[in-house]
Structure 1
Amino acid sequence: MGKMLRFTQGIGFLLMVAGTSLQAAEVMLKQGDIELRADLELAEGKSVEEGVVLMLHGTLAHNRMEIMQNVAELLKDNGYNTLNINLSYALDQRPSQMLDCSIEHQHKHEDAVAELEAWMRWLKEQGASKVALLGHSRGGNQVAWFAAEKGSTLLDKVVMVAPATWDSNKATTDYEERYKKPLATVMTEAQKLVDAGKGNTVMELPGFVYCEKAKATADAVISYYRDDKRKNTPDLLSPIKKPMLIVMGSADAVVADLPSKLEGIKQDNLTIETVEGADHFFLDLYADELVEKTTHFLDW
């Protein structure tokens, strides 16, 4: 990114993006005590007013990982503007790299919904006429969560790429197999702290999400591991009234249960597509097919 631009929430800078001369920029947006980061890409001859695809990456990842960059570039080639956001995970100006497991994890799964809301407000201030949400993996679940519970007058369509599923029994089994400690014990300790008003207490854990021997607040532990059906993307679809697209890879071993969880779900506003041979990350030519299905669905 050759340019970096900073903004404060609630202040619009329409001139920054109204013209077509600015094709790419890193955008910084103040939210509370931290600055959020995103990459804004304008398609040739396009302005923000014509619509933006707001993109969100997966678990502990970043906005410049391969799938996100590939999809953003291909969307741009097809005439779509993108705002590819980098979740903060409660860190100021978090860099575009996999989250460092050694930090004290203070972030929560639902923080992404608040950050999506902040960026949606920012796009409205810039004059965007419409926004499509596109999320990958856990990001697919989080954009669905936003669409189901928050929404926006700008929200036009929702694209979920290999969106996350949730099964409390599987989460319990996987945790104990990987980290050699019952998840129930960890949750009991965390819940006691939260109930005592000490949710910001940092716990020493055998593991947290993908991180071994991690440190995380009790609030973070409860957020990521409590049994909440909203973490299961198919359970979020019913209240969403905007057109939705779910794209799955036939060789996806990460959300292998997604096809079975979608069975029996019939909504007139839901389209389900499968990319044959693609795994969870839609690499190489699979990204082309993913974007082809996405642009056909968006049809701007």
Structure 2
Amino acid sequence: MQRIFVLLLALSLSAAAGEAAAKTVRLADGDRILLGRLLVPDGASLADGAVLMVHGSMAHLGQETVAGVQNALAEREIPSLAITLSLGESARTGMYPCEAVHRHKHSNAAREIGLWRDWLDRQGAGKVAVFGHSRGGNQIVHYALKAPPGALVAAVALAPATWSADRADSAYRTRHKRDRLADVKAATARGDALLRNHPFLSCPSATVAASSFVDYHRNDPGRDTPGLLGAYRGAPLLVLAGREDRVVPDLIAKMAGVKNPRVGFAVVEEADHMFLDFYAEDVADRMAEFLEDKFR
């Protein structure tokens, strides 16, 4: 019990130190402002390298998983920048609410990741690795696949999204009591018109641009992260899975079929999809080991 208390106290103090060193940064993108949380721990500098961190579905830079891993990286003297994808909004904070108008697309993320990667370069980041959780894990893999040569030294996908048509159909039917492909077909004919009181992602009744609905809900094998990795030729990639993950329950089995020397894979025992508390420490340990030779 005393050991646990001492460890919790140490984690609390290190997290507080990380918070003190963190600062909010703003990046202009046309008429929108993008927000990031830059954390450069004492004893480190951006010239040593930095991790660009991307959250999951409709989340933000302060979401527990991202914040936990970012603070744990700071304990290991690894600088990082956690970003909030705009989802079409300026200076967006917090979870994107169902009641907002949805005009964003899954496919928009790569562009904003690229803007922040270039920002880090302008700040003197010697080398950049990219990290993504859940949907963000799939989005960073897509970015890594198309990134210019030398843009990244590494990528880490934490519990990245998996996909199959059958599972997408079943999940949509269970959640919304409707047929996914019938709704996609109807929305495809509506262009950018707004669909009102319409199912969208986890929202039971949303106002969403028809083109956005199609982008998220159409058949798209590219959403299945393991399916992208057999021929992956991007920066060295580490995929991490939680043994008890029920959000992407097929990730471990699918990764067993990936045979690519550029792709590493590890399982965090007992972790679920969120990797909170001590599991964030496990993730940071594995990342630090993976990045050690990349940030030299």
The answer as to whether partners of 1:120 and 1:152 remain within 8 angstroms in 2 is no
**Cα distance change of structure 1 residues 151 and 212 upon mapping to structure 2, 3 Å threshold:** farther
Which residue does 2:207 correspond to in 1?
215
**Cα distance change of structure 1 residues 165 and 205 upon mapping to structure 2, 3 Å threshold:** farther
- 1:149 alignment partner, one of 143, 146, 149: 146
Please report how far the alpha carbon of residue 151 of structure 1 lies from its aligned counterpart in structure 2 after TM superposition: 4.2
TM-score when normalising by structure 2: 0.89
Q: Give yes or no for the alignment of 1:235 onto 2:227.
A: yes
Q: For residue 104 of structure 1, what is the amino acid of its counterpart? A: V
Q: Distance in 1 between matches of 2:47 and 2:72?
A: 20
Q: Give yes or no for the alignment of 1:48 onto 2:41.
A: no
Please report how far the alpha carbon of residue 135 of structure 1 lies from its aligned counterpart in structure 2 after TM superposition: 0.5
What is the SS of the residue equivalent to 1:224? helix
Q: Give yes or no for the alignment of 1:265 onto 2:258.
A: yes
Which residue does 2:67 correspond to in 1?
69
Please report how far the alpha carbon of residue 49 of structure 1 lies from its aligned counterpart in structure 2 after TM superposition: 1.9
The answer as to whether partners of 2:172 and 2:180 remain within 8 angstroms in 1 is yes
Deviations 1:147-191 (A, max 9, x none): 012345230001000000111221122112211221122111111
Matches for 1:48-197 after TM superposition, within 5 Å: 48-95=46-93, 97-151=94-148, 153-193=150-190
Which residue does 1:7 correspond to in 2?
none
Q: How many residues align?
A: 273
Instruction: Identify unmatched segments of 5+ residues in structure 2.
Output: 1-19
Q: For residue 110 of structure 1, what is the amino acid of its counterpart? A: S
Please report how far the alpha carbon of residue 283 of structure 1 lies from its aligned counterpart in structure 2 after TM superposition: 1.4
The answer as to whether partners of 1:181 and 1:206 remain within 8 angstroms in 2 is no
Matches for 1:250-289 after TM superposition, within 5 Å: 250-289=243-282
The answer as to whether partners of 2:53 and 2:81 remain within 8 angstroms in 1 is yes
Please report how far the alpha carbon of residue 295 of structure 1 lies from its aligned counterpart in structure 2 after TM superposition: 0.6
The answer as to whether partners of 2:110 and 2:143 remain within 8 angstroms in 1 is yes
Q: Distance in 2 between matches of 1:142 and 1:150?
A: 12
Please report how far the alpha carbon of residue 260 of structure 1 lies from its aligned counterpart in structure 2 after TM superposition: 1.6
Q: Distance in 1 between matches of 2:280 and 2:221?
A: 29
Quick check: which one's helix share is greater?
Answer: 2
What is the SS of the residue equivalent to 1:110? helix
Q: Which moved more, 1:143-152 or 1:36-45?
A: 143-152
Please report how far the alpha carbon of residue 221 of structure 1 lies from its aligned counterpart in structure 2 after TM superposition: 0.8
Tell me the percent identity.
Answer: 36
TM-score when normalising by structure 1: 0.88
Q: Distance in 1 between matches of 2:143 and 2:118?
A: 13
Q: Distance in 2 between matches of 1:154 and 1:77?
A: 25
Deviations 1:119-152 (A, max 9, x none): 0111112221110111100000000010012345
What is the SS of the residue equivalent to 1:248? strand
Tell me how large the CA RMSD over aligned residues is: 1.4
Q: Distance in 1 between matches of 2:193 and 2:281?
A: 45
Deviations 1:196-232 (A, max 9, x none): xxx3211124410011111110110111011122111
Deviations 1:64-115 (A, max 9, x none): 11111111111011010000001111111101x1111101100000111111
What is the SS of the residue equivalent to 2:213? helix
Q: Distance in 2 between matches of 1:251 and 1:114?
A: 32
